[in-house]
């Protein structure tokens, strides 16, 4: 059954979802694909808290100035990303901290580097909270027997830890990270693997929900999915080839469809 927007109360609908592509008639999807970072929860705050916790640890341990830490950390991060390209390991905090040690001219201390990584992720998870409406939306989707999936960059270990931290370890039917295919989104490999896991094709009717137009929206479009971009309040939707089909600011907006 089609749920054409023109057949719904448009004044009510516009409060739930902002439609950008008016050629789309929403209907029940076979699968809803979610990005993880900055889509299910806010990335910035836990990341800043985690970096600060590592900074304090390094300051105390090695008497390093705060400015020097941040300058070196940014340089280490830039070098690792340039070295590895758009791959899961290019996001590795462990590699950032190892390179930070090397840039500072210290003898590499594997125990300390591992401790820095653990401090980072322990602090990160402590400060990471799901956006409102996520649990309720997933419950609505499950009741309607719609498959769900996570497609995310970074390594599998930490992304699994995040979902377990949120108590969402059983919430998804498929889980794919860029580590599995050796390339970050929007590389087609990551989406092809997802479709294979779910036994779907590009002809299947899918939704893609994410925040990043250059990875989530483009990646979703490449497999023919209807795309939903989460944007911050008062922000504008992306334009041109990055333009989503719908935008929303709150997951309860999507719940309104169901």
The per-residue pLDDT for range 97-138, each reduced to its tens digit, is 999 999 999 888 999 999 999 999 999 999 999 999 999 999
Q: What percent of the chain has pLDDT over 90?
A: 81
pLDDT number for residue 119: 98
Average pLDDT score over the chain = 91
Identify the pLDDT of residue 8. Answer: 44
User: Residue 234's pLDDT is what?
Assistant: 63
3-state secondary structure 47-58: HHHHHHHHHHHH
**Residue-level pLDDT at 7:** 42
Q: Do the Cβ atoms of 34 and 228 come closer than 8 Å?
A: no
> How many other β-carbons are positioned within 10 Å of the β-carbon of residue 124?
23
CATH number of 2-41+130-255: 3.40.50.1000
Query: How far apart are the C-alpha atoms of 150 and 37, rounded to whole Å?
Result: 10
Q: 182 Cβ partners below 8 Å, 6+ apart?
A: 87, 88, 189
Q: What is the mean pLDDT of residues 191-220?
A: 94
Q: What is the pLDDT of residue 240?
A: 82
Q: Is the pTM of this model over 0.85?
A: yes
Q: What pLDDT score was predicted for residue 2? A: 39
When computed from its CA atoms, the radius of gyration of the chain, rounded to whole angstroms, is 20
Q: How do residues 144-178 score in pLDDT, each as one tens digit? A: 999 999 999 999 999 999 999 999 999 999 999 99
* Predicted pLDDT at 210: 97
Q: Domain residue spans in the chain? A: 2-41+130-255, 44-126
Please state whether the peptide bond connecting residue 186 to the residue before it is cis, i.e. omega within 30 degrees of 0: yes
Between CA 120 and CA 99 the distance in angstroms is 15
Residues 6+ apart with CB under 8 A from 25: 2, 3, 4, 5
């Amino acid at each position: 059954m089609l749920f054409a927007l023109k057949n719904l109360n448009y004044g009510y609908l516009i409060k739930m979802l902002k439609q950008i592509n008016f050629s789309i008639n929403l209907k029940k999807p076979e699968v809803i694909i979610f990005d993880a970072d900055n889509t299910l929860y806010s990335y910035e705050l836990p990341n800043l808290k985690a970096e600060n916790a590592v900074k304090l640890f390094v300051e105390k341990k090695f008497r390093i100035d705060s400015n020097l830490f941040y300058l070196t950390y940014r340089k280490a991060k830039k070098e690792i990303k340039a070295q590895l390209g758009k791959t899961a390991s290019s996001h590795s905090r462990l590699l950032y901290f190892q390179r930070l040690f090397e840039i500072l001219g210290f003898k590499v201390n594997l125990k300390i580097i591992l401790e820095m990584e653990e401090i980072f992720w322990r602090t990160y998870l402590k400060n990471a909270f799901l956006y409102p409406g996520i649990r309720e939306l997933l419950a609505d989707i499950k009741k309607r027997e719609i498959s769900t999936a996570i497609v995310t960059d970074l390594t599998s270990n930490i992304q699994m830890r995040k979902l377990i931290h949120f108590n969402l370890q059983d919430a998804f039917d498929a889980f794919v990270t860029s580590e599995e295919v050796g390339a970050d989104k929007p590389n087609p490999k990551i989406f092809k693997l997802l479709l294979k896991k779910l036994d779907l094709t590009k002809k299947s009717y899918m939704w893609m929900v994410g925040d990043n137009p250059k990875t989530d929206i483009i990646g979703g479009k490449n497999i023919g999915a209807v795309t939903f971009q989460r944007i911050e309040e008062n922000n504008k939707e992306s334009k041109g080839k990055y333009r989503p089909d719908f935008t929303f600011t709150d997951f309860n907006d999507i719940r309104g469809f169901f």
